[in-house]
């Protein structure tokens, strides 16, 4: 399959080109910092941002795409499910 954008440099304003499932964990960092999070099942989402700030997003809806640079999704405070890190 051809990829007309293969020679373009990835940027934070472009679409994600990869992803990985996230299991919330209070101590383990993600394998890489995300450019966005997809939340399949809504709820609360407790994260550690790339800056180190710890935030909890309440009332995240099912199917939400959040443009967040996150290094960790914490188990404590997270009720959302089906979380995917996009890179």
CA dihedral 74, 75, 79, 85 (to 10 degrees): 50
Token pair for residue 72? 């960790």
Predicted confidence band of residue 57 (pLDDT cuts 50, 70, 90): very high
pTM of the full structure: 0.89
Q: What does pLDDT average to over the chain?
A: 94
Q: Which domain holds residue 47?
A: 28-86
Residue 18 is assigned to a structural domain of this protein: no
CA atoms within 13 A on the CB side of 83: 27
Please indicate, yes or no, if residue 70 is contained in any of the structural domains: yes
**Confidence at residue 41, expressed as pLDDT on a 0 to 100 scale:** 98
Per-residue pLDDT, averaged over 64-77, amounts to: 97
pLDDT band at 66; cut points 50, 70, 90: very high
Report if residue 14 sits inside a domain.
no
Higher pLDDT pick, 9 / 49? 49
Domain count, the chain: 1
């Amino acid at each position: 399959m051809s990829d007309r954008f293969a020679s373009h440099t990835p940027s934070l304003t472009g679409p994600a080109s990869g992803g990985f499932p996230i299991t919330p964990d209070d101590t383990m960092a993600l394998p890489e910092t995300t450019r966005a999070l997809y939340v399949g099942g809504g709820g609360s989402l407790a994260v550690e941002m790339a800056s180190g700030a710890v935030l909890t997003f309440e009332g995240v809806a099912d199917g939400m795409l959040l443009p967040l640079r996150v290094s960790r999704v914490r188990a404590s405070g997270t009720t959302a499910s089906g979380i995917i890190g996009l890179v």
